[in-house]
């Protein structure tokens, strides 16, 4: 770790925990001259650079040139000058000191947590390290490795769940799509898979799982509020939630998930030519299972989310977001033709998709959060304040689900504005 004296004091105040062996600690001043910073980096060869203050800019630029991962600690005020914005852009990730500031950056960590795991490089045993779909690699590293039960909601074709089962054993998969579950059972009959209804309580005991993953699932479900309530209910206190969704960005209008809603005739013609009339009828004409393809019939949009709004919603439902990341920028230009082709021609798009995911972070939003309420009337962490609320049930059909009283209320504009800044 390379950092100035000010950075060292800040890190001590933040109670950050660092790997004792994997990085070399270097105590040097933070000079403004990039040349001196590069010289020091070459001489000490740190694995990562962590810097604070506006004088860190030279270190951050020097680290990027030298190919060293660099992290910058944002001031607690969150107010940035021009130099502060340059520091944020030069760093690989920004360490923020307030939860509402996570929405301000595309790659950010919340200070005051145990950051050793977050700052560690990607695991070499990650089976998705070179996969063109970056969300799986992110989620595999973000989920805890200390045991417990892992719940994957919206398993799809099951590639992520199968890899998780091979590495961590105690997994449960939930999905509303009967076809996906049947295919997955035919390939691996030992996986514990359960079909759920669109608005049903999940068949999992309160506080019984250590982590929940919702990987590109929220934008498909009938009611996001139900999904987030259930995730909070089944997680143990301090449990981990990993959420990935499409992000609102310049090319969101190319989202193929919205073609069937906005241009149904075009979608029918293209899909029928690619997969046949029978497949189209099963997936998009027959709506008795409540699904239009893999999208709930109750949704009128395959949502591309704004980061600040989704972070605020997670806080609203009892989670504290500790990490924000993302992937891709131009992936729709590669993903759409990949969906329309087959075999070797389709696989040819894997390389540009992988490159796009590694170098850009705008088109997909990745969040890691932890449960900070138990649902039993204990303190609810919300926007840096503590509220005490008596618990209540959701109704006769909800069974064991208990939430805090104020979690049903819609998010007000002021709350959303705090997270959008």
Question: pLDDT, tens digit, for every residue of 133-166?
Answer: 999 999 999 988 777 899 999 998 889 999 988 8
Contact 229, 404 (CB under 8 A): no
Indicate the SS3 state at residue 166.
Answer: helix
Residue 115: predicted pLDDT: 61
Q: What is the mean pLDDT of the chain?
A: 79
pLDDT band at 333, cuts 50/70/90? very high
Architecture field, domain 2-119: 3-Layer(aba) Sandwich (3.40)
In whole angstroms, give the CA distance from residue 211 to residue 60: 34
Query: What topology does CATH give the domain 134-250+302-420?
Result: Rossmann fold (3.40.50)
Q: 40 or 113: which carries more pLDDT confidence?
A: 40
Task: Give the contacts of 54 (CB within 8 A, at least 6 positions apart).
Answer: 81, 83, 84, 87
pLDDT exceeding 70 applies to what percent of the chain? 78
User: For residue 354, what are its two tokens?
Assistant: 């992988």
Task: Give the contacts of 412 (CB within 8 A, at least 6 positions apart).
Answer: none
Residue 311: predicted pLDDT: 94
Q: 343 or 391: which carries more pLDDT confidence?
A: 343
Average pLDDT estimate for 341-369: 93
Residue 198: predicted pLDDT: 84
Residue 208: predicted pLDDT: 93
pLDDT exceeding 90 applies to what percent of the chain? 44
Residue 421: predicted pLDDT: 46
Residue 345: predicted pLDDT: 93
Residue 65: predicted pLDDT: 82
Question: Of the ranges 58-72, 242-256, 278-292, 381-395, which is most confident?
Answer: 242-256
Residue 393: predicted pLDDT: 30
Per residue in 86-104, is it b (16+ CB within 10 Å) or e — as a string? bbbebbebbbbbbbbbbbb
Residue identified by tokens 């520091």 is: 87
pLDDT in tens, 220-238: 999 999 999 999 999 999 9
Kindly tell me if the per-residue pLDDT of 407 is higher than 80.
no
Residue identified by tokens 């560690």 is: 120
Kindly tell me if the per-residue pLDDT of 355 is higher than 80.
yes
pLDDT band at 82, cuts 50/70/90? confident
Q: Is 238 left (phi over 0), alpha (psi -120 to 50) or beta?
A: left
Kindly tell me if the per-residue pLDDT of 179 is higher than 60.
yes
Kindly tell me if the per-residue pLDDT of 39 is higher than 90.
no
pLDDT band at 172, cuts 50/70/90? very high
pLDDT in tens, 247-298: 999 999 999 999 999 999 999 999 999 999 999 999 999 888 889 999 999 9
Residue 377: predicted pLDDT: 40
Contact 381, 364 (CB under 8 A): no
Residue 120: predicted pLDDT: 63
Where in the chain do CATH 3.40.50.150 domains reside? 134-250+302-420
Task: Transcribe 30-71 into DSSP letters.
Answer: --S-HHHHHHHHHHH--SEEEEESGGGHHHHHHHHHHT-EEE
pLDDT band at 114, cuts 50/70/90? low
pLDDT band at 406, cuts 50/70/90? very low
Residue 116: predicted pLDDT: 60
DSSP code of 110? E
Kindly tell me if the per-residue pLDDT of 48 is higher than 70.
yes
Contact 418, 389 (CB under 8 A): no
In whole angstroms, give the CA distance from residue 383 to residue 398: 27
């Amino acid at each position: 770790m390379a950092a100035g004296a000010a950075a060292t004091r800040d890190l001590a105040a933040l109670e950050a925990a660092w790997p004792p062996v994997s990085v070399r600690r270097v105590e040097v001043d933070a000079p403004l001259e990039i040349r001196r910073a590069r010289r020091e980096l070459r001489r000490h060869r740190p694995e990562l650079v962590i810097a604070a203050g506006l004088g860190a800019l030279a270190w951050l630029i020097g680290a990027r040139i030298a190919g060293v991962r660099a992290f910058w600690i944002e001031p607690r005020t969150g107010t940035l000058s021009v130099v502060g914005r340059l520091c944020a852009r030069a760093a690989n990730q920004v360490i923020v000191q307030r939860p509402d500031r996570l929405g301000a950056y595309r790659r950010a960590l919340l200070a005051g947590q145990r950051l050793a795991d977050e700052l560690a490089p990607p695991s070499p045993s990650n089976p998705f390290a070179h996969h063109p779909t970056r969300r799986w690699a992110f989620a595999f590293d973000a989920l805890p490795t200390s045991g417990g039960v892992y719940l994957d909601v919206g398993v799809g074709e099951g590639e992520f769940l199968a890899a998780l089962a091979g590495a961590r054993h105690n997994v449960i998969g939930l999905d509303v799509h009967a076809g996906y579950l049947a295919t997955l059972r035919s390939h691996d009959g030992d996986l514990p898979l359960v079909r759920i209804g669109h608005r049903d309580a999940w068949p999992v005991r309160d506080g019984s799982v250590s982590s929940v993953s919702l990987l590109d699932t929220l934008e498909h479900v009938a009611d996001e509020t139900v999904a987030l309530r259930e995730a909070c209910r089944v997680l143990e206190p301090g449990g981990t939630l990993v959420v990935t969704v499409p992000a609102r960005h310049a090319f969101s209008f190319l989202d193929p998930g919205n073609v069937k809603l906005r241009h149904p005739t075009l979608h029918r013609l293209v899909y029928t030519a690619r997969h046949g009339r029978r497949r189209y009828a099963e997936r998009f004409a027959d709506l008795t299972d409540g699904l239009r393809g893999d999208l709930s019939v109750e949704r009128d949009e395959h949502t591309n989310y704004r980061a600040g709004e989704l972070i605020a919603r997670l806080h609203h439902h009892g989670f504290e977001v500790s990490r924000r990341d993302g992937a891709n920028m131009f992936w729709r230009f590669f993903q759409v033709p990949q969906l329309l082709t087959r075999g070797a021609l389709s696989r040819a798009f894997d390389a540009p998709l992988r490159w796009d995911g590694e170098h850009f972070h705008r088109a997909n939003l990745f969040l890691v959060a932890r449960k900070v309420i138990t649902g039993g009337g204990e303190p609810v962490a919300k926007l840096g304040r503590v509220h005490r609320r008596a618990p209540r049930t959701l109704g006769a059909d909800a069974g064991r689900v208990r939430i805090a009283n104020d979690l049903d209320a819609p998010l007000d504009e002021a709350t959303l504005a705090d997270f959008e800044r």
